[in-house]
Amino acid sequence: MPATEEARARLAAIPNLTVIGGAPLSRYTRFGIGGPADLYAETGDVEAFVAAVGAARASGLPTVVIGGGTNLIVSDAGFRGIVLRYRGERIWASGNCVFVEAGAGLGDLVDFTVERGLRGLETLAGIPGSAGAAVYGNAGAYGHSISERVAKVRFFDGREIREFDNAACRFEYRESVFKKRKEWIIFSFELLLEPADAAELRATAEGIVKIRNEKFPVTMKCAGSIFKNLMLKDLPADVAARLPAGVAREGKVPAAWFLEQAGAKGASRGDIRVADYHANLIYNAGAGTAADLAALIAELKSRVREQCGIELEEEVQYVG
Ligand SMILES: Cc1cc2nc3c(=O)[nH]c(=O)nc-3n(C[C@H](O)[C@H](O)[C@H](O)COP(=O)(O)OP(=O)(O)OC[C@H]3O[C@@H](n4cnc5c(N)ncnc54)[C@H](O)[C@@H]3O)c2cc1C
């Protein structure tokens, strides 16, 4: 039996697992781009997910884990293998501790903490995607990242379920150990927050969402910022010395500043465009392709390399 058929049969035998053959990944990404996955499987059940990883391994097919698809560029050819998604989405609290399953929406998690008067996640309001991927990529905004509040992370390393404390997660700006070990799958995590006035937290969150919705309209097919911002301490001395006052904030230099110097605003390839108001925002204006997206990203990186002498790094993750 061909490997895909064999894998499909193995996956179909797992209780509580939904399996789809030839799933069009454009439906699972905010860019609305991406060809089919040979197989797509999802579940909110840890046991079923672990069994699915075992079945995938036995089939020898490549696997990839996705969340809400808000930070993904999936190739036009799709993914020759198995796409897995963990959908457990419970959120509960005990005192100042909040427990969350990785498939919960980050927005639902933020709302939950705000409504309970727990401070710590309110500046993350409006960041789309799942809670698990937020830990994977150490999502953050307005000077704060989720890592500041993560106490423990429970994950599957392919053999067993393990737990890491904050230090073991090796969080950095938009980085964690999970980004380096892509075969590790986050199932749940625990946050430690502080009591605060719910109305004050709500006002902060609502103010941020209002600003964000102007920058990233909810229907915009994009991934937020394409490139990571740069750490001032990592810039070549001559580049840092040429920065106008005020460009670096909290030790970071916006990638958008370098992109603007390179004339990125308004650049395009086919239906893939750089926003004319934000040089680090690329969107699909309709029928954009992953090929055009990748080509535009490569062009912008090369322009910034030549004109500014620095190498931009993508925040988005590639599949296929
Ligand atoms: C409009 C817009 C604005 C954004 N603004 C911000 C912002 O301000 N700050 C910010 O940090 N990000 C921002 N983002 C990026 C994005 O929302 C985050 O990266 C988000 O955490 C991705 O979540 P997701 O569930 O969609 O993950 P996906 O895009 O599906 O996956 C991203 C990565 O996470 C991995 N992953 C997913 N789930 C798991 C899991 N359970 N275990 C292990 N790995 C997993 C995947 O393998 C993949 O490599 C923005 C995106 C958009 C579209």
Ligand 1 pocket: which of 70, 177, 184, 317 to mutate (most atoms within 8 A of CB)? 70
pLDDT of residue 149: 98
Task: Report pLDDT digits (tens) over 144-189.
Answer: 999 999 999 999 999 999 999 999 999 999 999 999 999 999 999 9
Query: How many Cβ atoms are within 10 Å of 95's Cβ, its own excluded?
Result: 9
Measured in Å, residue 162 CA sits from the centre of ligand 1 at 22
* pLDDT score, position 298: 98
Q: Ligand 1, residue 103: give the atom nearest the CA.
A: 41
| pLDDT confidence of residue 178 | 98
Residues 60-76: what's their mean pLDDT?
Answer: 97
Q: How far is the CA of 134 from the centre of ligand 1 (A)?
A: 6
Expressed in angstroms and rounded, the spacing between residue 130 Cα and the centre of ligand 1 is 7
The mean pLDDT of the chain is 96
| pLDDT value at residue 268 | 97
Annotation says 176 is catalytic: no
* Reduced DSSP (H G I as helix, E B as strand, rest coil) percent helix, strand, coil of the chain, to 5: 35, 30, 35
Pocket of ligand 1 (CB under 6 A): 30, 65-72, 86, 102, 127-130, 132-134, 136-137, 139-141, 178, 185-186, 216, 222-224, 317
Give the residue among 188, 192, 139, 195 at the shortest CA–CA distance from 164.
188
pLDDT of residue 2: 83
Residue 1 pLDDT > 80: no
Q: Is the pTM of this model over 0.85?
A: yes
CB 126 within 8 A of CB 224: no
In contact, 251 and 232? CB cutoff 8 Å: yes
Q: What interhelical angle do 46-59 and 3-12 show, nearest 10?
A: 160
Region of 241 please: left (phi>0), alpha (psi -120 to 50) or beta.
alpha
DSSP designation for 147: G
Return the ∠ at Cα 124 (arms to 121 and 129), rounded to 5°. Answer: 115
Tell me how far the alpha carbon of residue 22 is from its chain's centroid: 23
299 part of the active site: no
Task: Concatenate the DSSP letters of all residues of 186-231 into one string.
Answer: EEEEEEE-EE--HHHHHHHHHHHHHHHHHHS-TT-EEEEESB--EE
- Tens digits of per-residue pLDDT, 215-274? 999 999 999 999 999 999 999 999 999 999 999 998 999 999 999 999 999 999 999 999
Report the alpha-carbon distance of residue 298 to residue 272 in Å, rounded: 13
DSSP code of residue 304: H
Would you call 315 a catalytic residue per the annotation? yes
Residue 39: predicted pLDDT: 98
Distance, CA of 105 to CA of 258 (rounded, Å): 32
7-42 pLDDT, tens digit each: 999 999 999 999 999 999 999 999 999 999 999 999
Instruction: Give the pLDDT of residue 250.
Output: 87
* Nearby residues of 106 by Cβ (< 8 Å), 6 or more positions away: 124, 127, 128, 129, 130, 131, 133, 134, 139
Q: Return all residues near 71 (Cβ < 8 A) that are at least 6 apart.
A: 129, 133, 137, 223, 224, 315, 316, 317
> Does pLDDT of 275 surpass 90?
yes
pLDDT digits (tens, 9 = 90+) for 186-213: 999 999 999 999 999 999 999 999 999 9
pLDDT at 303 over 80: yes
Q: 300 falls in which pLDDT band (50, 70, 90)? A: very high
Give, for 269, the enclosing helix (H) or strand (E): strand 268-269
Residue pLDDT, tens place only, 282-293: 999 999 999 999
CB 191 within 8 Å of CB 151:
yes
**Sheet order of strands, 91-94 included:** 91-94, 97-101, 185-192, 150-156, 161-165
242 Cβ contact partners less than 8 Å away, ≥ 6 residues apart? none
